[in-house]
Structure 1
Amino acid sequence: MSEYFGTDGIRGIANKDLTLELSAKVGNALTMFKNEPLVVIGTDTRASKDMLKCAVMSGILAGGGNVIDLGILTTPAISYITSLRKADFGVVISASHNPPEYNGIKIFDRSSEKLGERERDFIEKRIENNDFNYSETFGTIRYDKEVYTEYIKYLLETVESDFKGLKIVLDCSNGASFDIAPKIFQDLGAEVYCYNCNSSGHDINVGCGSLYEQFLIQKTIEHQADIGFAFDGDADRVIGATNDGKVIDGDLIIYILAKYLRQSNRLLGNMVVGTHHTNMGMELALQKIGIKLTRADVGDHFVACQMQKLGCVLGGEQSGHIILKNYAPTGDGILAALQLVNVLKKTGKSVKQLADYD
């Protein structure tokens, strides 16, 4: 049982559970996997982001590693850029959907996937033993606040048509997607109504985002938008809403995407991965159209592992973690939202018409 790593990295209240010392040790441990590793790092908007980022970077630099600081960026974007920049690790300072006083550390390997159990255990042992790599050479920091445009370009290339004529509401939870999500949907031609799009960090996830669907429903109805989306603090999960007041949870997103992929012969093995919380009605509906659902333990890491094992291209959780392996190795809320709107645009159908199960 891990003492520090949970199902999605290390988390805790900043300056209480997640301290400068612990953060520096985590960063330094990365330099014990490989000499002079290259590490990309980014954060969500939390007020503690700079303190913890500097601590992690200090540990890396002391061990001879080099850092590319990406600034405020979503977790999936940092995962993508880890591979793009051929980095050895990608580090995210974020506590996802948790309140502002929390923060966390997520780590990706060079393949842009979250660290496995062996790597997590290695880091924990270094922390417990107070091992610290003091290198004879010192690393450097390079700032790259423009590389996110490569991620935007990549996401835009995943859709089959523009979104002109569509009205879309976005709730960015005052988190990492505050500027990138509106830009992407606007670039595709949608009329965008954006809420909770500030970056102060003091109100991240406070009464907004993917855990507060009633706000999203209210605004989607108010604007009579074609669809609405709410992201969590680091935008690795998404929840949707319709203009008649219905929630589009992760199960429904998976169902609609699975149907579309199967019809276009892109659902490898006609199989998707869910969890033990996945809606039974959705499973039965998938069976009727020839798609098998297999269940993993709760947690996007377990879903990703099961997908890897079975060769699946689509999986996720009811909470809105959606993994589309054809495009990315980890959950991406903006990507999932884009793919859902793509289905609506290509089929000319509404969510209600596509969601033919109870």
Structure 2
Amino acid sequence: MKNNLMISVSGVRGIVGDGLTPDVISRFSMAFGTFLKKGRVIIGKDTRPSGEMVKHSVISGLVATGCEVIDLGVCPTPTVLYNVKNLHADGGIAITASHNPSEWNALKFVNNEGTFLTRSQAKKLLDIFNKGSFKTADWQNIGVLKTDSSGIKRHIDGVLRLSFLNIRKLRRRKFRVGVDCVNGAASSAFPELLEKLGCKIKKVYCDGNGKFLRNPEPIAKNLSALGKMVSKEGLDIGFATDADGDRLSIVGNDGTPLGEEHSLALAVSYFLSKKRGNVVINLSSSRMTDDIVKTHKVKVFRSKVGEANVVKKMKQTNAVIGGEGNGGIILPEFQMTRDGMSGIALILSYLLESGKTILQLKNELPSYYIIKEKKKLNSREHKLNYEKIIKLLPKGRINNNDGLRIDWKDCWIHIRKSGTEPIVRIIAEAKSKKEATLLCRKVKKIIDV
């Protein structure tokens, strides 16, 4: 059964009923309760149909080990992490498969610092699970379940206190904003935040009913409905997210999606004008951020893919901002996790202070074209022949910290096995679409041989 699960730094995920079963979920939750040695645990979920089943299995496992469980209900993943830290909880579990389709679900484990488990913490948790060394409570010390409907409000209130926000001016400006939450966990949170910032909003896929009427991944090709609405209504900007509200994508004032890589680049460009310091991005992120960082005369560091890896590097380098090119923006002064809502605050502040349109700001960024391909693997144990790829591609600067990345003067490629899906990801960036496409195509042919 474990072979049908994806277990990584991102947690444990699988297809419900085919690997991810109530038994597996409750056992992982008992392992987490044992790992925490009881204590208070915050939980929250997205809106996918299996959420209630998964939640009750999680509660069962946690209560069995004597934990006090605080259920926030439906809320974005970063809301769970924010509340773990601000309620001084011992840990948390976000129940979501993020950008995966509806048949998937997952558990993302959170430590008492309000960040996802480190690699060493995740290893300890997995050891407990594999050995079945659960420490369950007797009938007199069984844990308790409490509900808390204020988790999103606390999160929004925290965003409104961000140091760079000029709420009075934002409310006077009255930005016209479109929002697409794919009927997921952010369906009430994003609109509520935007209204608090004085925005006039138009919504699409914000019913919170768990019906993913577009692919949950907020990449350009999936945002046509939001783009049409922004264009038709003459809006200033559109914001889209995935099923759990941690990623942020932007649609321009002409209705054209900017591409998820631009969210982090724009956020970094704005925030470094407020506070200089180091920046951390992962190995699959665009060179736009590298070029932006150079103009501010600070340093950029690259980490392995995965939020926990980015956060670890941010702590090591004392970074002031960071994230991932998939639309994940991490602002340490608020919290050490990808957070779509603090990302919205950054982008709207940039629009306000610049006096420019979002398309004008986008056009000021360094110009690159990035192609993201994926290829299904025959099995999760499939090994990629990186040496063969190196041999058949032009000589370049090699980085094998996370799969294989090769850099050349005007382009790069990154090949790695996904930690969240049984696929290999192939990402190439160049000065032209043609060059990036050809680079991806060449690597896919090498892998096929």
TM-score, length basis structure 1: 0.92
- Could you say which residue in structure 2 is the equivalent of 1:334? 341
Deviations 1:69-94 (A, max 9, x none): 11101101110111121110111110
Matches within 5 A, 1:38-53: 38-53=40-55
Runs of 4+ in 1 over 6 A off after TM superposition: none
Counterpart residue identity of residue 137, structure 2 = S
- Could you say which residue in structure 1 is the equivalent of 2:446? none
- Change beyond 3 A, Cα 1:223–1:7: farther
- Change beyond 3 A, Cα 1:249–1:299: farther
- Change beyond 3 A, Cα 1:50–1:261: same
Counterpart residue identity of residue 180, structure 1 = A
Matches within 5 A, 1:158-173: 158=162, 159-161=165-167, 162-163=170-171, 164-173=173-182
- Could you say which residue in structure 1 is the equivalent of 2:183? 174
Which moves more between the two structures, 88-97 or 216-225?
216-225
Give distance in 2, aligned partners of 1:29 and 1:177. Answer: 29
Offset, 1:344: 0.7
- Could you say which residue in structure 1 is the equivalent of 2:212? 204
Gap runs ≥5 in structure 2: 368-449
Offset, 1:289: 4.0
Give distance in 1, aligned partners of 2:305 and 2:216. Answer: 23
- Selected match of 2:156 from 131, 152, 157: 152
Give distance in 2, aligned partners of 1:35 and 1:123. Answer: 12
Larger radius of gyration: 2
- Change beyond 3 A, Cα 1:285–1:33: closer
Matched, 1:18 2:28: no
Which moves more between the two structures, 129-138 or 185-194?
129-138
- Could you say which residue in structure 1 is the equivalent of 2:425? none
- Selected match of 1:259 from 269, 292, 300: 269
Give distance in 2, aligned partners of 1:192 and 1:33. Answer: 43
* Bigger relative CO (Cα 8 Å, ≥ 6 apart): 1
Contact 1:171 1:209 in 2 (8 A): no
Give distance in 1, aligned partners of 2:315 and 2:261. Answer: 20
Offset, 1:55: 0.8
Contact 2:271 2:346 in 1 (8 A): no
Matched, 1:353 2:360: yes
Counterpart residue identity of residue 94, structure 1 = T
Gap runs ≥5 in structure 1: none
- Selected match of 2:326 from 303, 319, 323: 319
Deviations 1:38-74 (A, max 9, x none): 1111100011111111111111111111111111011
Offset, 1:279: 2.2
Give distance in 1, aligned partners of 2:109 and 2:347. Answer: 28
Contact 2:265 2:288 in 1 (8 A): no
TM-score, length basis structure 2: 0.74
Contact 1:99 1:205 in 2 (8 A): no
Counterpart residue identity of residue 150, structure 2 = E
Offset, 1:324: 0.8
Counterpart residue identity of residue 145, structure 1 = S
Give distance in 2, aligned partners of 1:117 and 1:152. Answer: 30
Offset, 1:346: 1.9
Offset, 1:229: 0.6
Give distance in 2, aligned partners of 1:204 and 1:131. Answer: 38
Offset, 1:182: 0.5
Matched, 1:273 2:283: no
- Could you say which residue in structure 2 is the equivalent of 1:56? 58
Give distance in 2, aligned partners of 1:117 and 1:208. Answer: 27
Which moves more between the two structures, 72-81 or 253-262?
253-262
- Could you say which residue in structure 2 is the equivalent of 1:217? 227
Matched, 1:287 2:297: no
Matched, 1:188 2:197: yes
- Could you say which residue in structure 1 is the equivalent of 2:237? 227
- Change beyond 3 A, Cα 1:233–1:66: same
- SS state of the match for residue 56, structure 1? helix
- Change beyond 3 A, Cα 1:336–1:72: same
Give distance in 2, aligned partners of 1:30 and 1:37. Answer: 11
Percent sequence identity is 27
- Selected match of 1:71 from 66, 70, 73: 73
Which moves more between the two structures, 272-281 or 78-87?
272-281
